[in-house]
Structure 1
Amino acid sequence: MNEGIPEKVIIVEGKSDKTKVKNIIREPVEIICTNGTISITKLDELIDTLFDKDVYILVDADSAGEKLRKQFKREFPEAEHLYIDRMYREVATAPEHHLATVLLGANIDVYTQYLDR
């Protein structure tokens, strides 16, 4: 493991998702925004840079998020998919404790205060 270079990568849709997740995570994790959609060319470039990392997909529980998730499942089947509860719909609006639980379930170290309800 290279010191200072994150071995884990979380792919989210937007900047607000990135900010929310970043505040909860305790370990060095690279968080990449797709800004909602991603072209096949951009996706291929991204996959080339991520081949040796643990990649997690965390997108909204809506039609745009599902479309993006399907694209990643097809083009990058090695990635692990993390799901928020459908009742929250968006990563950015999901409660911190819910996101912390989802991330912890994927062996991503989170600040313990977010695990309290």
Structure 2
Amino acid sequence: MREEIEAARSALSQAVDAAPQEQVEQLARARSLVDEALDEAMARAVLEGTSVRAVAAAAGLAPNSVPPRLAQTDTLAAYSSVDGRVSSEGIARARFDAQRGLEAPPPPPGAAAPLRFRRRESR
């Protein structure tokens, strides 16, 4: 998470004196990096015992938007279901494993990465 935050700082610094189009690109990059860091922070908070509802409120998100974001994290991806969400059962299992120092299970079969917007590259 530290790397994402440092990279976001760099992107924000580069955006300050850049041309407008470059500012848009750097700010979008910073937003993406901050979102990744936020997702990891939320996963760690949930793993430590904070409820999904409390994490969502602190992050300014709707509670139903948190489980898919948790499924994209390194911390909880192994506990996601095939629909690309971390359920309450997955969170309970992750907490159990963490308390006992156990390794995360392998990802579920058929677990696909969630769909993400990809910008078209004009050539």
Normalised to the residue count of structure 2, the TM-score between the two structures is: 0.26
User: Which structure has greater strand proportion?
Assistant: 1
Which is bigger in relative contact order (C-alpha 8 A, separation at least 6)?
A: 1
User: Which structure has greater helix proportion?
Assistant: 2
